[in-house]
Homo-oligomer: A and B are copies of this chain.
Amino acid sequence: SKFEYVKAFEKEVYLLPETYMVVRVDGRGFHKLSETYKFEKPNDLNALELMNKAAQSVMEKIPEALLAYGDSDEYSFLLQKNCEIFERREAKLTSTFSSTFTAYYNFYWKDYFPNSPLTPERLPTFDARVVLYPNQQNVKDYFSWRQVDCHINNLYNTTFWQLILKKGLTPQESEKRLMGTLSSDKNEILFTELGINYNDEAEIYKKGTVLIREWELKDDQPSLNERELSKRQKDRLRKKFRKAKIQKYHIDIINEGFWNERPWLLES
């Protein structure tokens, strides 16, 4: 029809080839949402496990996602460097990840919050973005950045809430008490004033959650550079990926050892 010219106004952004793509989703307005549905403070185990369940489901649906790391209301997914998912179109990536994560989070909600049914006034939704990283060090640093952030937030939140719960401080007093304190100070407050050894806190709170597609490139397998693969080899590889089990950990990913033991994460 004579209206079809409007299609030409669509602008495609094709993301740089051979570059790592990380997609991060983050809950929209979860400060409010965590109050509406009465999440436990500072950490609600069910809320975190529901995030993990949604992320794992996303990884099962999207085989190009090799690794995921999450804490609080966010999750980051690492895609294969060479993958041609959605022809590397940015809007397809952001919208599909946000939509798929949202669908699973909402679907499994009832299993994790059987007594707090969702109400249409406040359904959980997630924004998403893609970030490009040109080399392995950048990718490691990205995930380290998120895990350090998890640690900083969790140490703060733990101390903040324990001061309220155990010492009867008001939120304002607790905030003031922590202003300007270093990590070592918070550890000290927890230990001396509140009788808590921060090291004994649950690993899922301190470290967040890592999901890994447990898959290893064998010597007899074709190289992973998609450019060098035939259509059939690609399909076979994809199938293998899809079958690989996804494992859940609460471990240190800042350490080089983590990456050295799983070379396929960054080489593929």
Contact = CB atoms under 8 A, between A and B. Distances in A.
Interface stretch (A16-24, A184-192, A213-221, A259-267): A16-24
Contacts of A134: 16-19, 134-135
Given A98-B95, A99-B125, A19 B18 contact: no
A107 B127 contact: no
Nearest to A97: B95
A35 interface: no
A123 interface: yes
A9 B132 contact: yes
Nearest to A24: B10
B99 A126 contact: yes
B123 A104 contact: yes
Given A91-B127, A127-B96, A227 B9 contact: no
B16 A9 contact: yes
A14 B16 contact: no
B17 A129 contact: no
A101 B103 CA distance: 10
A132 B134 CA distance: 10
Interface size class of A (residues with CB under 8 A): 35 or more
Contacts of A14: 11
A153 interface: no
Interface string A61-88: 0000000000000000000000000000
A145 interface: yes
Interface stretch (A43-51, A136-144, A166-174, A239-247): A136-144
A14 B9 CA distance: 9
Contact of A3 (B57, B101, B141): B141
Contacts of A9: 16-17, 131-133, 138, 142
A109 B178 CA distance: 46
A92 B133 CA distance: 20
A252 interface: no
A200 interface: no
- With a 10 A CB-CB cut-off, give which of A11, A17, A102, A107 has the most chain B CB atoms: A102
Given A6-B131, A94-B98, 13 more contacts: A7-B145, A10-B129, A10-B131, A16-B16, A18-B134, A28-B96, A91-B128, A91-B129, A91-B130, A94-B95, A95-B129, A98-B99, A99-B127
